[in-house]
């Protein structure tokens, strides 16, 4: 990084043509504002490491926010005492981001719990099943694609019968199995599906292509905020018409995710959220703190780290674009931690591989927290604290029983 030496520096007062009133003007805080790094990057040569380009050439506007995201994640959020929730929306798995980025992040212990759209997890199954997803073009004729049994996600193409409908058929055959015949939360649903996905990967001699399989192996609980709103939910509804007994209970998901955040805080550690895109997964992840404070009336202060990559603007009032400072007013983010909040306005398909590379290059893997296996204990701790903070009994007047 080039430095300005004192012999090269010119002061306002030394400029001969400057009028006296300007020379005499007092600017007591000027040095504070100009204390930031000087923008004078080295010429790129083609020999740099990607991490060095991010550190040294991503200097302004959204590239600077991307650098700050990489640095916040790697230098602060990946500390061993931080529990990290990651929300996923947008068409990430069809774009290959499950294989390239989300699976490596899970394997490295860089994400402890996930809230995803059902669509991301549904399309993840094509990869585990070895059903190809292809690059195409956004300029294609969609009527022609429909006539040729192809569906399109912008510039990604999937077979309708041999990929989508084939996945659906296998999914339906799985969710009618005995282990699915009960009420459960979506973490359990996805864990059970992940077991199958891991087996499909193994049979197809594929390694680490599926988010569901990786999350299953790593004990990362994977929730969906709208269980009915994806082809997984559609197939669950389809077999219910035939008497299937699978019932997804979103209240289980709300309480379990809340228990993770409370457990992180009560262990003396921190809680951080990493939000890819917006949508309902973002809110579902962030509502854990209002659930603690507003509904369960337990004293708490909000998330310690807030990191979002999004295209959504804040001025429409939509949740997808809501800023961390707006989240402070809801108790979602601790106001004292706002300096540790970054919003990067860019496409997640650009940011995710860059950030994943940066984190893997700069930080050693973390021990897997395996929150999936700790759901029971953390739920009990949450329930105990709820009853300790409130003058309430069970609805039948009894007192809750704990193990
Ligand atoms: N076959 C399926 O199962 C299927 C397919 C698509 C969508 N869906 C469902 O539709 C609902 C909508 O999901 P969605 O994820 O498509 O919502 P979405 O694409 O509207 O994404 C939510 C928000 O995230 C942001 N975002 C999306 N892509 C981004 C990108 N590349 N870069 C930066 N920001 C981005 C946008 O601000 C957007 O408003 C979900 O519930 C999903 O399950 C289902």
Q: Would you write out the chain's pLDDT as a tens digit for each of its 403 residues?
A: 445 555 677 777 778 888 888 878 888 898 899 999 999 999 999 999 999 999 999 999 999 999 999 999 999 999 999 999 999 999 999 999 999 999 999 999 999 999 999 999 999 999 999 999 999 999 999 999 999 999 999 999 999 999 999 999 999 999 999 999 999 999 999 999 999 999 999 999 999 999 999 999 999 999 999 999 999 999 999 999 999 999 999 999 999 999 999 999 999 999 999 999 999 999 999 999 999 999 999 999 999 999 999 999 998 888 899 988 888 888 898 888 888 899 999 999 999 999 999 999 999 999 999 999 999 999 999 999 999 999 999 999 999 888 7
Verify whether ligand 1 is closer than 6 Å to residue 222 (CB atom).
no
Ligand 1 atom showing the smallest separation from residue 318 Cα: 39
Q: What pLDDT is recorded for position 82?
A: 98
DSSP, collapsed to helix, strand or coil, labels residue 362 as helix
Q: What pLDDT is recorded for position 7?
A: 62
What pTM did the predictor assign? Answer: 0.94
CA distance 376 to 259: 9
Ligand 1 atom showing the smallest separation from residue 164 Cα: 1
CA distance 86 to 222: 10
Q: Are strands 150-153 and 156-159 parallel, antiparallel or unpaired?
A: antiparallel
Q: Contact 305/270 with Cβ under 8 angstroms?
A: yes
Verify whether ligand 1 is closer than 6 Å to residue 117 (CB atom).
yes
Q: Contact 112/83 with Cβ under 8 angstroms?
A: yes
Q: Is residue 139 annotated as a catalytic residue, yes or no?
A: no
CA distance 393 to 391: 7
- Measured from the Cβ of residue 102, the count of other Cβ atoms closer than 10 Å reads 26
Q: Which residues pair with 171 in a beta bridge?
A: none
C-alpha of residue 348 to centroid of ligand 1, in Å: 11
C-alpha of residue 91 to centroid of ligand 1, in Å: 6
Ligand 1 atom showing the smallest separation from residue 349 Cα: 31
As given in the structure block, the two tokens for residue 75 are 């230098």
Verify whether ligand 1 is closer than 6 Å to residue 118 (CB atom).
yes
Verify whether ligand 1 is closer than 6 Å to residue 310 (CB atom).
yes
Verify whether ligand 1 is closer than 6 Å to residue 89 (CB atom).
yes
Which of 42, 332, 364, 367 is the catalytic position? 332
CA-CA distances (angstroms) from residue 328 to 31, 83, 97, 260, 286? 31, 19, 30, 20, 11
Verify whether ligand 1 is closer than 6 Å to residue 87 (CB atom).
no
Verify whether ligand 1 is closer than 6 Å to residue 121 (CB atom).
no
Protein residue whose Cα sits closest to atom 27 of ligand 1? 90
CA distance 69 to 36: 18
Q: Which residue has the tokens 């359990």?
A: 188
Residue 171 φ/ψ, nearest 5 degrees: -60, -45
CA distance 174 to 195: 11
Provide the edge-to-edge strand list for the sheet that holds 222-224.
222-224, 113-116, 82-88, 270-276, 305-310, 341-345
C-alpha of residue 124 to centroid of ligand 1, in Å: 14
C-alpha of residue 216 to centroid of ligand 1, in Å: 23
Verify whether ligand 1 is closer than 6 Å to residue 122 (CB atom).
yes
Verify whether ligand 1 is closer than 6 Å to residue 153 (CB atom).
no
Ligand 1 atom showing the smallest separation from residue 122 Cα: 3
Residue 299 buriedness (CB in 10 A; 0-12 / 13-18 / 19+): exposed
Mutate to test the pocket of ligand 1, among 66, 96, 119, 168 (most ligand atoms within 8 A of CB): 119
Q: Contact 295/263 with Cβ under 8 angstroms?
A: no
Q: Which residue has the tokens 């959020």?
A: 77
C-alpha of residue 120 to centroid of ligand 1, in Å: 9
């Amino acid at each position: 990084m080039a430095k300005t030496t004192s012999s090269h520096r010119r002061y306002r007062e030394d400029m001969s043509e400057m009028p006296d009133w300007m020379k005499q003007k007092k600017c007591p805080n000027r040095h504070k504002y100009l204390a930031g790094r000087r923008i004078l990057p080295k010429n790129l040569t083609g020999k740099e490491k990607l991490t060095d380009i991010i550190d040294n050439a991503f200097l302004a506007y959204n590239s600077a926010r991307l650098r700050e995201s990489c640095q916040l994640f790697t230098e602060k959020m990946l500390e061993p005492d931080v529990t990290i929730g990651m929300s996923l929306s947008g068409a990430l798995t069809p774009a290959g981001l499950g294989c390239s980025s989300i699976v490596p992040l899970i394997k490295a212990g860089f994400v402890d719990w996930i809230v995803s759209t059902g669509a991301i997890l549904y399309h993840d199954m094509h990869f585990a099943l070895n059903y190809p997803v292809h690059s195409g073009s956004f300029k294609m004729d969609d009527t022609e694609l429909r006539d040729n049994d192809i569906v399109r996600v912008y510039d990604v193409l999937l077979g309708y019968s041999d990929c989508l409908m084939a996945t659906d058929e296998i999914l339906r055959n799985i969710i009618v199995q005995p282990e699915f015949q009960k009420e459960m939360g979506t973490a359990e649903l996805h864990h059970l599906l992940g077991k199958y996905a891991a087996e499909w990967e193994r049979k197809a001699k594929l390694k680490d292509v599926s988010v569901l399989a990786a999350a299953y192996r790593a004990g990362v609980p994977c929730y969906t905020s709208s269980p009915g709103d994806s082809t997984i939910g559609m197939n669950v509804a389809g077999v219910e018409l035939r008497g299937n007994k699978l019932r997804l209970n979103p209240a289980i998901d709300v309480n379990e995710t809340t228990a993770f955040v409370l457990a992180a805080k009560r262990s003396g550690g921190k809680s951080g959220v990493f939000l890819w895109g917006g949508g309902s997964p973002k809110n579902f992840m962030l509502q854990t703190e209002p659930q603690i404070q507003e509904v369960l009336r337990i004293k708490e202060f909000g998330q310690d780290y807030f990191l979002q990559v999004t295209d959504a603007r804040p001025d429409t009032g939509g949740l997808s674009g809501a800023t961390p400072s707006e989240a402070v007013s809801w108790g979602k983010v601790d106001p004292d931690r706002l300096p540790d909040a970054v919003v990067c306005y860019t496409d997640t398909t650009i940011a995710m591989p860059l950030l994943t590379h940066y984190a893997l290059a700069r930080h050693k893997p973390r021990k897997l927290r395996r929150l999936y296996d700790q759901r029971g204990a953390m739920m009990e701790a949450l329930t105990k604290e709820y009853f300790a903070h409130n003058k309430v009994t069970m609805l039948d007047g009894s007192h809750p029983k704990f193990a």
